[in-house]
Each structure stands twice: as structure tokens, then as C-alpha cells.
Amino acid sequence: MTELPISKTDLAKRTPLNLLKWKQKIWLLFVIALTCLLAMLFLGPYVYLLLTSFKPSAEAVSAPPTLWPSTFSIENYRNMFDYLPVGKYFTNSLVTAGASTIISVLLGSMAAYGISRFTSVTGKYFLLFTLVIRMVPMISIAIPMYMIVKDMGLIDTQLALVLVYTSVNVPFAIWLMIGFFDSVPKEFDEAARIDGCGWLGAFIRVILPVSLPGLATTAIFTFMLAWNDFLFSLLMTSTQAKTATVGISEFLTAYNLDLGPMTAAAVSFSFPVMIFSLFVQRYIVSGMTLGAVKE
């Protein structure tokens, strides 16, 4: 008698359970190894930067370079204040990034809520217009922005940077927040209206607390965009409102490279974003998926 061909389902049933478990373990080890490799590629430069900041000044520029410092020293962190007014630059960055983040999230959330709840042809065109604005390269609007700020008499002021960062971040905030508001059922608004709230009251008392993960996600991204900006700060500031990104670049001159203090300033510059991320990290993951699925 000829044997009937074995189907894939029957073959899977006859496969030993231990073999399936080993395949799952091998795949899991492969994923872990790949994740560790990618993490090393991303964290490697920052780890080297961090270790270099704790090297003595002479060792920081030694050749060939070394990874681990021979002795841990905070000399670079003391010297960075002697080379440049780093504290002033950091304060300017914190004020401009923080103020523009608050204004951008406030205006962006209100605009996104209006577009989400009051759908119209005008709203759709406005949403498309904000997308087009956000797709424009920053370098192409840098000179027009500079001319506008110059005509307003705001060159080398914190207000100029706040206005520029806000104008750039508001379209980004609208596109992030509109997905979060679309995922919030409209019955929440109706219930608030029945209880006596107006549209603004329903937005502040009901919708914003529900959309807190989305607000946190939008805030961290808009803050990082303003905090890491170099182009606009370089164009629109000279001494008084200069931010940390431009200030750190001044450690590199045509005649000298102060690598030790420069790495110390760069590590200090990254701390505010890292601390801010730690405070809002529980909202970031939920916020990134809140607007991804619509009922």
C-alpha cells in the first residue's frame, strides 16, 4: 500500500515539543543579541563622551585616545565655567525651550481639538496646510525668519527664539495631538455639555486629563526640538540670548580645541532632557499608542 502524504499540520503535531522550544529560544537569543548590538551602537559614543569628561585635561586630548580614564577627575566640569559663561547659555536654552514648549502644546492642543471635534472643509485644508508647513526644510525659512525678527527689533533676545520655536513646533504639536483627540470618544464631550460645561470647559476639565499621555509625548518632542536647535540660535543670537548648543561649539576654535571642558559641557547639556524624560516616561509609551487605533 502507498502511504498518504503527510500534511504540514500533521507534521507540526509530530514535531517534538523540545525542538519547538529550542527554536523559540534560539530566536529569542538572536533578538536579544541584535538589540544589544544596536544599543551599543547608539550608546557607545555617549559612553565615550561621558568617560572623557571625567579624564584630566591632558589625557582628554592624548593620542592615541583611551576609553577608560586613568584617574577620575571633575577638572573639566570646573574649567568649563572658566572658558565660557556656560551657566548663562544653559539658562537661555532652558527658558526658550521651556516657554516655547508650553505655548506650542497649549496652542497645538486647542487647534487639534477644534479640528477633531468640528470637522469641516476649512479644517481639513488647515490641517493639510500645517502638514505642508512642517515639511518645509528649516534652512529654507531661516533667512526669512531672521529678516522678520530683525524688523521687529528682537535680535539677540530670548523672546525672538521663543517666537521662532513656537512657530516651528505648533504644526508638529497639532499633528501629534489630533490623533490623540480622535481616539477620545465624543460622548465625553456630550456628557460634559449636559453637566453644564461649555466647549472650553469640556476641553479643560474632561478632554485634557484624558489626553495626558498625548500631552506628555507632545511636550517631550517639542522640548527636544527647541532644546537641540542650533541653526536659529546661531542666526538670531550673538551674546545675550545665546543658547547652549551654540555655546558648546565655541570650545572649538581655529587655534585650539578644549576637548575636556567641551565634553563636560555636552554631558551637562544632555541632563535636562534625560531628567525630563524620566519624569514623563510612563506617559510616553502609552501616548505613542493612544492615537494609533480608532474605534
- Kindly tell me if the per-residue pLDDT of 9 is higher than 60: no
Between CA 146 and CA 231 the distance in angstroms is 11
Separation CA 286–CA 35 (nearest Å): 22
Q: What CA–CA distance (Å, rounded) separates 233 from 274?
A: 22
Packed helices 138-151 and 158-183: angle between N→C axes, nearest 10 degrees: 130
pLDDT at 43 over 60: yes
Q: Do residues 177 and 84 make contact, with C-beta atoms less than 8 angstroms apart?
A: no
The residues, ordered by sequence, that sit 6+ positions from 185 with a Cβ below 8 Å of its Cβ are: 295
* Whether the predicted pLDDT of 240 surpasses 50: yes
- CATH number, domain 77-290: 1.10.3720.10
- In the predicted model, what is the mean pLDDT of the chain? 80
CA 274 remoteness from chain centre: 10
Separation of alpha carbons 5 and 107, rounded Å: 67
Question: Whose CA is closest to 79, among 95, 94, 51, 58?
Answer: 58
Cis bond leading into 64, ω under 30°? Answer: yes
The whole-angstrom separation of Cα 284 and Cα 217 is: 5
Spans of all domains in the chain: 8-53, 77-290
Go through 113-129 and write b for each residue having 16 or more CB atoms within 10 A of its CB, e for each that does not: bbbbbeeeeebeeebee
Q: Dump the DSSP string for 91-107.
A: HHHHHHHHHHHHHHHHH
State yes or no: pLDDT of 94 exceeds 70.
Answer: yes
pLDDT in tens, 143-169: 899 999 999 988 989 999 999 999 999
Predicted TM-score (pTM) of this structure: 0.78
- CA–CA distance, 140 with 137 (Å, rounded to integer): 6
- Where are the strands (E) in the chain, listed by range? none
Q: Does the pLDDT at position 292 exceed 50? A: no
CA dist., res. 5 & res. 127, Å (int): 59
pLDDT average, residue stretch 18-43: 83
